[in-house]
Amino acid sequence: MKIAVGLSGGIDSAATALQLKKAGHDVMGITMSLFDHQTAEIESASEVADQLGITHTVLPLHDAFKKEVINAFIHAYEAGETPNPCLICNQKLKYGLLLDFARKHGAEKFATGHYAQIVYDSNLGEYAVERAVNTAKDQSYNLFHLTQEQLAQLILPLGKIVSKTELRRTYAAHDARKAEKRDSQGICFIEHGKQTHFLKAQQSRASEIGFFVDKYGKRLGRHLGTANYTIGQKRKLNPALSGRYVVTGINAIENQVILGEEKDLYQETLILTHFHFISPTAPEQMAVRIKTSQWSPFYDAELLRCGDDIVQLSFKTSVRAIAPGQGIVCYQGDRLIGGAIYHLP
């Protein structure tokens, strides 16, 4: 079978390609070129392809990445949100443009190094996404947007890997140096420093100095730009405020960071729009487990459909500090039900 692998230059995608090659598949590597300081990663991906004896294509997607991911990232901060750009990149580029390119160039399947499992439910006659065997590395949270058509074309070999140590040990027999390569961290398109430095360099209004206010609008001091703060933050407000208050909201229009008390952070219900169900046969109401960010714990809730793509979540216990801009993702057991990016009304 001809399988395209999204090669990032890291150990996970390299191990994915190696596993499929060993299984006897005709493997082709594709790497997205997204921003200028990506040279080392692209060279690493090319090296992997050379070592495995597979073809390698670098797909230039700078314009699409800037439009769909970077501009959306800036806009989200300017709207007072705390975005996760990986969610948009996965949806629009990795499992969008990259998958399309693979199909147009003869690939029967498309594989990535994500830690998650794709299963076919013969009882329902449809595909599903489940958490990885290695739950500590599970990345199913990032895949809530996938459609049945996309799932039918995807392979995620690392979903059954027990541990990252096992993966590195297996790959070391092929390339000991690359097997020890550290995992990438942070936001890929920000070369140095934090997102606040990037936004300031972009002259974003989310970097403009403004005022901390209480819920009545009373000024409490100056802030360094709304992008420096997120819901639930207590530290690094300013010396007079840290420890006394917590961030409960951001008014981007007035360039204000709203401060309050812990009790102001808890929510019992949540309305999500543009909610995507992975299963076309999902019921109108169901008990679910919720993640409110990539690394949040699970929260028990009841999901109720309120329209074609609108759901209400009623939490069993109040949930603290749900930040607009984050993905809210629902599971039943280890099976991914769907999700949406949370925006304020």
**By 3-state DSSP, what share of the chain in percent is helix, strand and coil, each rounded to 5?**
30, 30, 40
Is 193 marked as a binding-site residue? no
- Close Cβ partners of 270 (under 8 Å, ≥ 6 residues apart): 312, 313, 315, 319, 322, 328, 342
Is 9 marked as a binding-site residue? yes
Is 318 marked as a binding-site residue? no
Is 6 marked as a binding-site residue? yes
Is 221 marked as a binding-site residue? no
Is 286 marked as a binding-site residue? no
Structure tokens, 257: 């960071």
Structure tokens, 307: 């329209």
Residues 304 and 284: beta-carbon distance below 8 Å = yes
Residue 154's φ and ψ, nearest 5 degrees, are -100, 150
DSSP characters for 231-292?
Answer: TT--SSS-TTTBTTBEEEEEETTTTEEEEE-GGGGEEEEEEESS-EESSTT--SEEEEEEES
Is 290 marked as a binding-site residue? no
Query: Is residue 306 annotated as part of the catalytic site, yes or no?
Result: no
Is 10 marked as a binding-site residue? yes
Q: 86, 188, 306, 330: which is the annotated catalytic residue?
A: 188
Is 32 marked as a binding-site residue? yes
Residues 35 and 65: beta-carbon distance below 8 Å = yes
Query: Is residue 330 annotated as part of the catalytic site, yes or no?
Result: no
Q: 86, 89, 306, 330: which is the annotated catalytic residue?
A: 89
> Which residues contribute to the annotated binding site for ATP?
6-13, 32, 113
The catalytic site residues sit at: 89, 188
> Which residues contribute to the annotated binding site?
6-13, 32, 113
